[in-house]
């Protein structure tokens, strides 16, 4: 794993930058995942991207695709970006016709209108609050219709920015995931987090043919490809046939908000005891959506086989193909008895409380089958929590030598790892120490250097 740490000292902090707004370069990212009510790993990536781009002196913008069109009133237009989700209703014949027409016309292009932040709209804090953006772009249901257009017609939707003096077009359009969209008149960078639908097809419900077609189309149109690990970089080069000089690995960064990271151990311990009845460093933790690649079924099996009495806390909502992953857990819960009490499951946890749970855990168990990056590993190490992870995808890159690493298909190896973490305090202390050093390699400063290098490859310098 090669990190460009030699650049770290070249970039000033955000408060040192005195850039002229007229000459400041700016990027726009899509809000496809950021707009989700409970976020996602890609939403976290997008928010972190905006914050770190700002720190190197660039302007930031976000493209949204709200259900409603832009209004003349700027405050109302901004409110539409974070309007509450309504229950799905059956479409009338006229509504179906309008939807089909919009999907068809997407192949000929869509326009995004600027929206200035008003300061009047209170953004939902549970999904991260207002993104770190100077202003927004709005194009009604652009993501929905562009995806349908590609699925139906195999056509990519061109995007045009309807700019004005106060909202100039971005210098770079950075798509945070492969989308069937292409901004006109500016360089387009697309981030590939992984190729899991191809590498691990049994773990997703994606139409593999459509996914491959989209990847190939994106690669053909992209001015540059960004990836978040060397494992994904090699997959993109090998499977999609992209020349090495067109793919840049930026990795990711993790920065825990100071007001959460600096809380005293006593305060966090009191919270954990009061809310969950858990003692400091006296439980194991696994967090992530319940889907096949997270390997929850084997985590539960290896934990039960370990015979440890330390509780296991599971956090994550149901995603897809979850039935086999939760079969043993459901049976244990249905049977009752002592094993049922050893495992607790929560579908959702507020971010601040999740941070407390990570800090207070004896260890994080994250032996995923495959990951494009694996933020839970990095977040746990940055919060001084020991980690058990796997050889799946990029996870060895992220963990380095600071975690117990096992074959994700080997239940006995996981069992031995859990037993060691439970019994050996010196082992945990050493992993916590090494984890902090490993996490420092993914600092915001290192990430900002890699982002600056990325944008320079499409002719945009900070």
Residue 111 pLDDT greater than 90, yes or no? yes
Q: What is the pTM of this model?
A: 0.90
Hey, what CATH topology would domain 258-440 get?
Answer: Rossmann fold (3.40.50)
Q: Dig out the tokens for 367 from the structure.
A: 């032996």
| Confidence bin at 131 (pLDDT 50/70/90) | very high
Q: Give the pLDDT confidence score for residue 339 in this predicted structure.
A: 83
pLDDT > 60? residue 12: no
Strand partners, 84: none
Residue pLDDT, tens place only, 379-397: 999 999 999 999 999 999 9
- pLDDT above 90 as % of the chain: 76
Say whether pLDDT at 142 is over 80: yes
Res 39: pLDDT: 60
Q: Are strands 188-192 and 172-175 parallel, antiparallel or unpaired?
A: parallel
Task: Report the pLDDT value the prediction gives residue 38, as an integer from 0 to 100.
Answer: 61
CATH says 5-85+97-253+444-456 is which class?
A: alpha beta
The dihedral formed by the CA atoms of 229, 231, 237 and 242, expressed in degrees to the nearest 10? -20
Q: What is the pLDDT of residue 23?
A: 67
Q: Is 182 in contact with 221 (CB distance < 8 Å)?
A: yes
What pLDDT does 332 receive?
Answer: 80
C-alpha atoms less than 13 angstroms from C-alpha of 218 in its C-beta half-sphere: 26
Q: With 70 as the cut, is the pLDDT of residue 21 above it?
A: no
CB 39 within 8 A of CB 54: no
Q: Which residue has the higher pLDDT, 165 or 300?
A: 300
- In the chain, CATH 3.40.50.2000 covers 258-440
* β pairing state of 59-64 and 312-315: unpaired
pLDDT category at 20 given cuts 50, 70, 90 is very low
What pLDDT is attached to residue 19? 42
SS (H, E, C) the chain: CCCCHHHHHHCCCHHHCCCCCCCCCEEEEECCCCCCCCCCHHHHHHHHHHHHHHHCCCEEEEEECCCCCCCCCHHHHHHHHCCCCCCCCCCCHHHHHHHHHHHHHHHHCEEEEEECCCCCCCCCHHHCCCCCCCEEEECCCHHHHHHHHHHHHCCCEEEEECCECCECCCCEEEECCCCCEEECCCCEEEEECCCHHHHCHHHCCCCHHHHHHHHHHHHHHCCEEEECCHHHHHHHHHHHCCCHHHEEECCCCCCCCHHHHCCCHHHHHHHHHHHHCCCCCCCEEEECCECHHHCHHHHHHHHHHHCCCCCEEEECCECCCCHHHHHHHHHHHHHCCHHHHHEEEECCCCHHHHHHHHHHCCEEEECCCCCCCCHHHHHHHHCCCEEEEECCCCHHHHHCCCCEEECCCCHHHHHHHHHHHHHCHHHHHHHHHHHHHHHHCCCHHHHHHHHHHHHHCCCCCC
Is residue 462 predicted with pLDDT exceeding 80? no
Instruction: Quote the mean pLDDT of the chain.
Output: 91
For residue 68, how many other CB atoms are within 10 A of its CB? 14
Residues 384/436, Cβ–Cβ less than 8 Å: yes
What are the pLDDT digits (tens) for 295-322? Answer: 999 999 999 999 999 999 999 988 777 7
Phi-psi region of 175 (alpha: psi -120 to 50; beta: other; left: phi over 0): beta
Q: Are 404 and 388 in contact (CB under 8 A)?
A: yes
């Amino acid at each position: 794993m090669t990190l460009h740490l030699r650049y770290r000292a070249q970039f000033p902090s955000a408060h040192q930058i005195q850039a002229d707004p007229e000459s400041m370069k700016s990027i726009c990212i899509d809000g496809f995942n950021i707009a989700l009510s409970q976020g996602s790993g890609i939403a976290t990536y997008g928010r972190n991207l905006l914050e770190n781009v700002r720190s190197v002196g660039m302007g930031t913008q976000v493209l949204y695709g709200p259900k409603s069109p832009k209004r003349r009133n700027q405050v109302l237009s901004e409110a539409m970006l974070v309007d509450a989700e309504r229950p799905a209703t059956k479409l009338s014949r006229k509504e179906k016709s309008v939807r089909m027409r919009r999907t068809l016309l997407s192949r000929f292009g869509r326009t995004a209108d600027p929206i200035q932040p008003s300061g009047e709209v209170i953004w939902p804090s549970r999904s991260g609050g207002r993104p770190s953006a100077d202003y927004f772009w709005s194009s009604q249901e652009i993501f929905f219709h562009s995806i349908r257009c590609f699925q139906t017609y195999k056509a990519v939707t061109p995007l045009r920015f309807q700019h004005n003096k106060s909202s100039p077009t971005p210098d770079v359009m950075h798509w945070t995931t492969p989308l069937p969209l292409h901004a006109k008149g500016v360089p387009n960078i697309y981030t590939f987090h992984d190729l899991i639908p191809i590498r691990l097809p049994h773990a997703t419900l994606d139409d593999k043919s459509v996914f491959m077609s989209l990847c190939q189309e994106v690669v053909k149109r992209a001015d540059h490809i960004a990836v978040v690990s060397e494992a994904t970089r090699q997959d993109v080069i090998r499977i999609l046939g992209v020349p090495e000089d067109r793919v840049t690995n930026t990795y990711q960064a993790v920065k825990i908000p100071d007001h959460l990271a600096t809380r005293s151990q006593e305060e966090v311990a009191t919270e954990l005891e009061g809310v969950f009845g858990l003692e400091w460093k006296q439980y194991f933790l696994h967090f992530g959506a319940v889907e096949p690649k997270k390997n929850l079924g084997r985590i539960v099996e290896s934990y039960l086989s370990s015979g440890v009495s330390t509780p296991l806390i599971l956090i994550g909502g149901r995603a897809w193909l979850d039935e086999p992953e939760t079969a043993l857990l459901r049976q244990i819960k249905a049977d009752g008895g002592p094993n049922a009490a050893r495992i607790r499951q929560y579908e959702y946890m507020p971010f601040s409380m999740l941070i407390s749970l990570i800090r207070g855990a004896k260890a994080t168990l994250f032996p995923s089958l495959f990951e494009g990056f694996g933020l839970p590993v990095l977040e746990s190490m940055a919060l001084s929590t020991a980690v058990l992870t796997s050889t799946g995808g990029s996870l060895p890159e992220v963990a380095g030598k600071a975690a117990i690493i096992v074959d994700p298909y080997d239940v006995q190896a996981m069992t031995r790892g859990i037993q060691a973490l439970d019994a050996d305090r010196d082992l945990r202390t050493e992993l916590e120490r090494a984890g902090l050093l490993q996490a420092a390699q993914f600092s915001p400063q290192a990430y900002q250097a890699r982002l600056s290098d990325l944008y320079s490859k499409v002719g945009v310098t900070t």
